[in-house]
Structure 1
């Protein structure tokens, strides 16, 4: 393996706290019972529509009123995108080691580019990230392999030489469809309807912590590169 690609929310970066803050504030504005943090967390990987639906379950997602609330949610999030957001604990050490060994890492996400770029800038990751692929860049999003192929192409690698790490079935499907080595990040925002049987996702590997992820990536990427260099 020659590169590591990550999903963004729930895999590389722990963004849930900021989503929870905004959704709970929207509940208070509406005068309804505040949705629990855990109920919001498991919807993060499903996107803005699923989170806003927690506040407005009575509205159809195509209703103009619902769409206006969704837009308000995105505006609030974009205005304060990294108040309580940071990389998952242990992730900085993993990225540092990849960079020390000149192994590119990047992001393939279903998060809009404007928000993804703002988040990376807030966390000082823009220059460190070798490739960022968002829905804006492709005609088909995950689980289609198109974003995966584009990410690999942009770092001059074959998709089969890349690892993809994600916390949603569509992440694993997209990676598998592109013949990447897939790692299921079970520490992430696992969707409620898919979290009971993680083996059904058919990932090549399942990790429960970032420490486990670091160990797996070290064995798949760092160690082989070190051994190859030592034989030159």
Structure 2
């Protein structure tokens, strides 16, 4: 991969789940607990992990094969949210290299922030409890603006709060909607191949500006000041 691929970058924005933190074990545990209370067998984490980026929708599909069109979906989603709120940080950890990568960004004087579709009721407690996020310049949740990704509004709001132009930002995410949102916002985009990606994802077809297989690879894409 070409070094210093991006020029003129003044800020880096990241998706949260599947990009900076591995929350799949807690998300999966919440859904799996719902199966157990119904007398169903436990499923391995590998069944939940690929769909973790889709939150409740993904977890309920993995656990019960249920889609939002099902009559019981709304009730089970509320139950899932309660279950997840009780185990938010039991198993959730930053991905390997994330601490080092963010530290090196800061050493370069490069501000960074988070734009996630996770609602503030979950984003707030997680980012406040994990020291990793103390240095974040901005944290935008799925309900911070009237729209969530793939709409560009959350990314544009992050750029506004950081006082940078969207073209001066890159957005890093592990889902196609992250790349679509970044493109719609006029940002350059990076697909995080080490993340959840989604079941059967064709990452090359997303049209990201670049791809990385580990967090530290991102640094090779930035122009050294």
Q: Same fold (TM over 0.5)?
A: yes
| Corresponding pairs, count | 217
Select the residue among 184, 188, 207 that pairs with 2:212: 207
How far 1:126 moved relative to its partner? 4.4
Q: Distance in 2 between matches of 1:215 and 1:22?
A: 37
Separation in 2 of the partners of 1:59 and 1:199?
Answer: 27
Structure number with greater Rg is: 1
1:56: how far off? 3.0
Name 2:203's counterpart in structure 1. 198
- Runs of 5+ unmatched residues, structure 2: 1-8
Q: Does 1:42 align with 2:47?
A: no
- Is 1:66 the counterpart of 2:60? The answer is no
Cα contact 1:53–1:61 (8 A) shared by 2: no
Q: Which structure shows the bigger proportion of residues in helix conformation?
A: 1
Contact 1:7 1:108 in 2 (8 A): yes
- Does residue 26 of structure 2 align to residue 18 of structure 1? yes
Determine the C-alpha separation between the residues in 2 that align with 1:34 and 1:203.
36
Instruction: Give, in whole Å, the separation in 2 of the partners of 1:105 and 1:85.
Output: 21
* Higher relative contact order, chain-length normalized (CA < 8 Å, sep 6+): 2
Once the 2 structures are TM-superposed, how far is the Cα of residue 59 of structure 1 from its aligned partner? 7.2
RMSD of aligned Cα (Å): 1.7
Q: Which residue of 1 aligns with 2:156?
A: 149
Shift of 1:174: 0.6
Cα gap change, 1:72 to 1:58, in 2 (>3 Å): closer
Q: Which moved more, 1:179-188 or 1:125-134?
A: 125-134
